[in-house]
Each structure stands twice: as structure tokens, then as C-alpha cells.
Structure 1
Amino acid sequence: MNTNVNASSTPSKIAMLKGFIDNNKTLTTILFLISISLLVYFPVLSHKFQMRWDDQWVVVNAYTEDGLTRSNLWAILTEFYNGQYAPANQLSYTLLYSAFGYNPFWFHLLGVIIHISNVILVYLFIKKLLNLSKGFKTESVTRIAFLTAIIMAVHPFLVESVAWLSASKILIYSFFYLIAIHIYLNYLVSKKIGHYLLVVLFFILSFAGKEQAVTLPVCLLLIDYAVKRDFRSKWLWFEKLPLFIIAFIFGYITLLSQSADKAGLLSEAPRYPFYQNIIFASYSVTEYLVKCLIPVKLSYLYVFPNAIGREVPMRFWMYPAMLLIICVSFWGFWKKHWVFFGISFFIVHLGVCLHVIPISRFAIVADRYVYVASIGIFFLMAYFVDKALNNLKYKNLTIMLTFLYVLSIGIYAHQHSKIWHDSDKLKQELKELLKKRNDFQKHKANK
């Protein structure tokens, strides 16, 4: 009898041991991601406010200084401010000011902590998603999740969101957004109404950080696609309906906030014609994609190529044609299950920043807008590295090239974070970039 009991308990002991080992590996990975992120971003902790680049009104304002009074909290929740509505972000400033005053260290520390939290959430999200899809070996799941997270942790294209306080809206919206995604994955397993309601709650909190959160219902459909849910199911669409309604309301609030500042779709402000918006969108997608893969010539300002009412330079016309040709020529590649997921994740989360809908933007591209969208590209990079590692012939070469890539972008991100030290340093960086560009153009003309 005792022998049978011992025999039957053996599988449960093995499962407990396996779970213990997996938990230790996960904890070790998370500690490594934290360490690498701190190594890249510790210069940010000594940065000052950008008093000539938006911090002087985004961070330093009456809402921040009036504290946690009932009237100020109501104002934060209900008022539009300079064409923006981001109460969760403003509340973070108010709380920090109430505790530490205008000490930039604490403001920057919070930004670094939230970025690290987002990196960890991405790692756990990819692991959970791939496990739920049941199409990957355990080794591949861990590898893809880790590589996606490590690239996000050290990529220079994301530095602006972490190093610039006025971009903290991106970090806060992303944090709540990623939590909503995690809870949705739990909902797919449990089907509990409580999980669904938590998704709604964190959707609202994410929008309170930044309007880009309106993409969440489409993102959840992408997750449904990734785990191969049946799109013919009425329940799948029924559960998304409330989220789409909320997203529509959020979109309208965003347009109202911009029109209050006499900008955006609902205002009478001059705007580019629709055909130019398509050209700008094509150019922007290309730039975001290229800089995710090869982060070069990063800047805090990418201006439109022409003023409203002027013609677009001829070279920009090639971008819509180029994208169309690439999409058609490689359609067999794009429609592969995980390739489609990664590319779609990238496009969906850039959607509100691509100028197709006229909104208040003075830059054709902005590094901060790619923060969540980049996860789709980083995932694909990790996915293909994993495939290469499964080929013994190229395993050592793949490991070496991957290590060198991560090391090089990490060093670049560390250096790039330093230009955000203060406004003088930031402006000097742009002057040097413009000088190099002008010198290159003169040299080319002389040839």
C-alpha cells in the first residue's frame, strides 16, 4: 500500500521540481533584464528637466504644483491641457512633486523603473503567448521571449521614451496596456468575467496615460489570431464589442482634446491633403521599420518635408510604391502565421501616429511612438534567431552575430541617453547632426 502511494506521488514531485526550476530560471532572467536595463540607462538618473523642450509646461505646471487636493484631482481628470488628455501621466507628476518637489532624479527614476517593468512584462507576455499557442518547444519559448525582451531593454530607438520626461506618457500607457494583455491571456484560459472586467479597467488606465491605447481591441484580436481562436465564433466578436465601443469613445475624447487647442480632425486648422497623408504614412512606416532593425541617425526631431500647401518632394513618392511592391512580391512570406502576427502588431500600434487621420503632430516621425509597436519587430527578430539556432550548421555564427548586435545597440543606447541630459546638450546634438548632413550634401554636390 505504501509502495503504491509513493509511486503515485512521484509524478507530482517531478512536476513540483520542474515548476521550481522553471521559476528559478524565470527569476534569474528577470534579474538579468533588470541589470542590463540599469547598465544602459543609469546616466538618465543624473539628467535635468528639459526646460526648453516641453518639460517646462508638460511637467512643470499648475496641475503638478497644486497637489493632491480635491479640486486639483478633479481638474486633472476632467480638463484638457494644451491639446492633451493624459490624467494618469499628470497624476504621476503631481504625486512625485508632492513627495520630492521638482527634483528631476525622482522623476527620471520612475521612468527607468517603468521601462524595466515594461521589459519584464514583454518577456512574460511572449512566454505566455507562445505557450498558449502550443506550437513551440519549451527551449524556443524561453529563447524567443528573452531575446525580444533584451532587445527592447537596450534598443536606442526607445531611449527617447525613457530619457525624456515629457514622453513618460508612453511609458505609463504601455505599462497598463501590457498588463491588460496579460490579463486577457489569463481570460482566454479561465473565461472568468473578473478577468474580462480587469482588462476593461486597465484599458481605461492605459488610455489615461496616452491616447495610443485605443488600439487595444485590435491588439486582442491579433492575440486571438496568434493562439488560433475561431474567428467564426460569435462570442469572440461579442466580447470585443464593449472594448471597441470604449475605444471609439476614447478616440472621440482625443479629437476633442486636440480641437480644444485648435488642432486635429475636429478643428478648422489647415491640414495636408489626403494623398500627402498617404505618402507620409508610407514614409513613416518605412522609417520606423528600418530604425527598429538598424537604429541609425536617431534624432529628437524629424520634421515634415514640406509645409502645408506645398508639394511633397519627389523622392517621397517612391515610398507608397515601394511598400506596395514589397507587400505583393513577398505576400507568401508576410502571410506566414507568426510573421503576420509580428508585422501586424507593429502596424496596428503605429496606426494612430501615421498621419492618415489628421491629428496634432509637428513631426513626421517620433522615436517615442514606436515604443509598443517595436515589440512586433523585436519578436520577429527573436523568432528568426531562434530558427537559425535550431540549425546546428549556423548555431555558433548566429550566437556571435546576435551577441554583437545586442552589445552594439546597447552601447549606442547608453551613449544616446546622455544627449537628453539637458536642453543645451539636446540642441547641440541636433546642430551637429544638421552640420554633418549639410557637409555630406555639399560633398555630394561637389562630386
Structure 2
Amino acid sequence: MNKNINAPLRSKTLSMLKGFIYTNKTILTIIFLIFISILVYFPVIWHKFQMHWDDQWVVINAYTEDGLTSDNLLAILTEFYNGQYAPANQLSYTLLYSAFGYNPFWFHLFGLVIHISNVILVYFFIKRLLNLTKSFKITSVQRIALLTATIMALHPFLVESVAWLSASKILIYSFFYLSAIHFYLNYITAPRIKHYLLMVVFFILSFAGKEQAVTLPVCLLLIDYALKRNFRDKRLWLEKLPLFVLAFFFGYITLLSQSADKAGLLSEAPHYPFYQNIIFASYSVTEYLVKCLIPVKLSYLYVFPNAIGREVPVRFWMYPVMLLIICLSFWSFWKKHWVFFGISFFIIHLGVCLHIIPISRFAIVADRYVYIAAVGIFFLMAYFIDRALNHAKYKNLTIVLSFLYLLSIGTYAHQRSKVWHDSELLKRELKELLKKRNEFQKHKVIK
């Protein structure tokens, strides 16, 4: 009799204990991610404005200084500025200026807080996604999510987005974008209209941060693929239809904003021929992928190899051929469920930055454009590390190599964040890089 009475009590106590442990693990994980992010990026909060690298007009401008008036808010929401439309980003500058004036400390602190928030959002995104698939062990879910977020927190390829105030568009768009994904996961688990509407609202806010947000509908289809939703279900496509309409509308606004500055597809400005755009896209994908895996020779500027109207250097022709050969040779590997998800996540979020559609870009590659796309590669790295850890034979070696990798990229990111202290230090780095490159070329000629 006592056993029957005590059984529900024991079950309830055990459930509460599990909940307590789960909650504490989550809190400790968040504290860990905050700690390592601050450890890497704390030099950034003491940086100055980049007065010779866009901050002098992106951050410091009339929209910022005019404050929170109705006329200024209307101008921020309705006007294009130097070929850009990013009202959410501009509004953040206006709010910060209204509170603190042109004190770079608060602007940089805000950027760091948003970056840390994005790292935590990525952790919960991967964790929720893998839990919903019900195809991973609990330990693997936690490990993959934590590793993905940790790599994001430490990776030097993302430093530009955090350390450069003019790149805060990336951080803000990413925050709203990842939030929209979370509301979509809410909608999948509990199909309520409020979840859908919140996803749409955050999609709009994400585009108000930066035009790269137009990829969200395709990203959600990829999430449907990951969760093995039925693509023959009309509801799946009907729920995406309003998002695709918004995405095309946003894309048109982006082209209009660029044409207002006499650039982009809708302008009469000269463009690279399409075949060269394909070559540039192939090169860019390769560079972004390699630097996600092995972040070497990072710079704040990667110029096009040729001017418009000139022939592209012969060595660049190898990139589309090489990518085609790699894709065909390893197709059986690429089409594996989670490999396909990671690679596709990477490609989708680089789509608007790969030069296939002529848009206003003066660099063939830019570190900031990979901020969200890199999550796909970081996920794959975490996924394969987890698989290696599940084999006793490779466990110790995997732990050692993973620790050394994380330590090295974290150290590099910390050092690289210091390069962005001011314009003089930033441009000195480029001069030194060009000097080394010229010396290397001379050495090759002599040999």
C-alpha cells in the first residue's frame, strides 16, 4: 500500500530533479558561451570609430544626430542612404547616440552584446532542431549544439562583424533572423497563428537590418528537409508563400536602394559579364569555405582580380572546374542528410553575396558576409567531432585536436580583434600584408 502511495511522489520528485539538472546545465552553458565570447572580444569595447573606413558616414550622420523625432524616424524608414536601406541598423545608432552621444564604447558594447546573443541563439537553434528530429542521443544533441556555438564564439572569420561598427547591420539582421527561425520551430511544434505572425514580424525586422535576410524562406525549406517534413503537403508550401512574396519585395527594395546610388542591377552602371560572375562566385565559395575551416590570411579587404571590362586572370578559371569535379566526385558524401543540411545552409546564406546577381560590391570576398552562413560549416565540424567522440578508439585524439583547434582560433580571433582598434592600425595591417605578398612574388621570380 505504501509503495503505491509513494510511487507518484517518487516519480514527481525524479521529474523535478531532472528538470532542475536540465535547467542548471542550460544556465551553465549560457554562462560558458558568454564568458568565452567576452574573453575573445573584450578589447573591442575600447576601440575607436573607424573614421577612414565608413564609420564616418555609416555611423556618424544626420539620421543619427537628429534623434528620435517623428520626422527623423520617417526619414530612417523611408529613405535610401548611399545605396543602402537598413532602418533597424540606423535606428540602433540613433538610440545609442541619443543616450550616450558619439561615445564608441557604448556602440561597441552594444555590438558585442548582440554577437553574444546570436551565439546563444545558434546554440538553442541547433539543440532544438536536433531534438525535433529524434534521431540523436541527448549527449550528442548537447555536444553538437555547444560545439557549434563555441566555434561561432571563437572563430576569427567573424571578427569583422563584431569589431567594425559599420558592419553592425550583420549582427542586427542575424539576431532577428535567428529569432524568426526559433518562432518557425515554435510554429512547427505548435501550429498557432501567433507563432507564424511573430516569425513574419522578425523576418521584416531582419530585412530592416540587412538585405541578406531575403534568404529566410529558402532556409525554412531547408529546416523542413532536416525535419523530414512532407514536401507534398500543400500546407508546407502555402505557409511559405507569403514569405517568398515578402522576400521578392525586399529584394526589389534592395535593388532600388542601390540604383538610387547608381549601382546594382537596375542601374546603368557597367557590370562584369555573366561568365565572370560565375568564376567570382566559384572563387568566393571556395574562399569562404576554406577560411571557415582554416582561417588564414584574413584581411579587411579582398579586391576583385580584374577591373570591369578586363579579362579575369587565368588561374581563377580553375575554381568553377574544381568545384564541379569535387561535387561530382563526392556526391554520395554531399547527399548524406546532415552533410547536405550543413553545406546547403552555408550556400543559401551566401547566395546574395556571390556576385551572380550584379549588386553594389567592391570586394570579391568580405568576412562579414559569412557570419550566418558559417553556422552551416561550424555545425558540420561539430557533427563530425561528435561522431569521432562516439568511437572509443579516436576519442582521446579527437579531444586533444579539438581543444587545440578551439584554442588556436580563439587566440587568433582575440589578436585579430585588436587590429580593428582604429583606421591607422587597420590600414597598417593591409600594407604589411601587401609588402609580404610583393616580397614573396619577387622571391618566386628570382628562383
1:250, CA displacement in angstroms?
A: 0.3
Structure 1 position 374 matched with structure 2 position 402: no
Gaps of 5+ in 2: none
Structure 1 counterpart of 2:207, one-letter code:
F
Alignment of 1:255-270 (within 5 A): 255-270=255-270
- d(CA) in 2 for partners of 1:338 and 1:3? 46
Letter in 1 for 2:382: A
1:10 alignment partner in structure 2: 10
> Are 1:226 and 2:232 counterparts?
no
**What do the CA deviations read for 1:236-284 (whole angstroms, capped 9, x no partner)?**
0010000000001000000000000000000000000000000000000
- Spell out, residue by residue over 1:164-184, the C-alpha distance to the aligned partner (whole angstroms, 9 max, x if none): 000000000000000000111
Residue type of the partner of 2:73?
L
Indicate the residue corresponding to 1:290 in structure 2: 290
Q: Deviations over 1:315-364 (max 9, x none)?
A: 00000000000000000000000000000000000000000000000000
Whole-angstrom distance in 2 between the partners of 1:156 and 1:271: 32
- Once residues 13 and 286 of structure 2 are traced to their aligned partners in structure 1, the CA distance between those partners, rounded to angstroms, is 52
**Residue in 1 that maps onto 2:179:** 179
Structure 1 residue 14: deviation in Å? Answer: 1.8
Match of 1:410 in 2: 410
> In structure 1, the residue corresponding to 2:406 is in which secondary structure?
helix
1:5 offset after TM fit, Å?
Answer: 3.8
Q: Which residue of 1 aligns with 2:108?
A: 108
Counterparts of 1:181 and 1:238, CA distance in 2: 17
Match of 2:307, SS state, is: coil
Would you say 1:165 and 2:165 are equivalent positions? Answer: yes
**Structure 2: how far apart are the matches of 1:12 and 1:406?**
40
User: How well do the aligned residues superpose, as a CA RMSD in angstroms?
Assistant: 0.7
Q: Which residue of 2 aligns with 1:93?
A: 93
SS at match of 1:95: helix
CA distance in 2, matches of 1:445, 1:137: 56
Shift of 1:17: 1.4
Equivalent residue of 2:349, what SS?
Answer: helix
Q: Please list, as runs of the form range in 1=range in 2, the aligned pairs for 1:259-408 lying within 5 A after superposition.
A: 259-408=259-408
**How far apart in 2 are the matches of 1:135 and 1:60?**
50
Q: Which residue of 2 aligns with 1:208?
A: 208
Say which is worse superposed, 420-429 or 9-18, in terms of deviation.
Answer: 9-18
254-263 vs 18-27, which moves further = 18-27
Letter in structure 1 aligned against 2:252: Y
State the AA in 1 paired with 2:66.
D
Cα distance between partner residues in 1 of 2:361 and 2:5:
69
Cα distance, 1:445 vs structure 2: 1.1
1:436 corresponds to 2:415? no
Give CA deviations for 1:59-83 in whole Å, capped at 9, x if unaligned. 0000000000000000000000000
Q: Which residue of the partner structure matches residue 45 of structure 1?
A: 45
Deviation sequence 1:31-87 (CA, Å, 0-9, x none) = 011000000000001100000000000000000000000000000000000000000
Q: Within 2, Cα distance between the matches of 1:424 and 1:80?
A: 30
User: How many pairs were matched up?
Assistant: 447
- Residue 18 of structure 1 deviates from its aligned partner by 1.0
For 1:5 and 1:158, the matched residues in 2 are separated by 57
CA distance in 1, matches of 2:38, 2:317: 42
Q: Which amino acid letter does the alignment assign opposite residue 408 of structure 2?
A: S
Residue 81 (1) aligns with residue 81 (2): yes
Match of 2:198 in 1: 198
Give the distance between the partners of 1:292 and 1:284, measured in 2 at CA. Answer: 12
Q: In 1, distance between residues paired with 2:186 and 2:136?
A: 19
Shift of 1:2: 6.1
Aligned partner of 1:72 in structure 2 is 72
Q: Distance in 2 between matches of 1:16 and 1:275?
A: 62
SS in 2 for 1:305: coil
> What does 1:49-60 correspond to in 2, within 5 Å?
49-60=49-60
| Structure 2 residue matching 1:364: 3-state secondary structure | coil
Q: Which residue of 1 aligns with 2:446?
A: 446
| Equivalent residue, structure 1, for 2:248 | 248
- The amino acid across from 1:402 in the alignment is S
Would you identify which runs of 4 or more consecutive aligned residues in structure 1 move more than 3 Å? none
- Aligned to 2:186, the other structure's residue is in SS state helix
Tell me the amino acid that sits aligned with residue 24 of structure 2.
Answer: N
Q: Which amino acid aligns with 1:154?
A: L
Q: Deviation per CA, 1:400-422, whole angstroms, max 9, x where unpaired?
A: 00000000000000000011000
Distance in 1, Cα, partners of 2:439 & 2:387: 43
Q: Deviations over 1:364-391 (max 9, x none)?
A: 0000000000000000000000000000
Q: In the alignment, residue 35 of structure 1 is paired with which amino acid?
A: F
Q: Distance in 2 between matches of 1:184 and 1:2?
A: 47
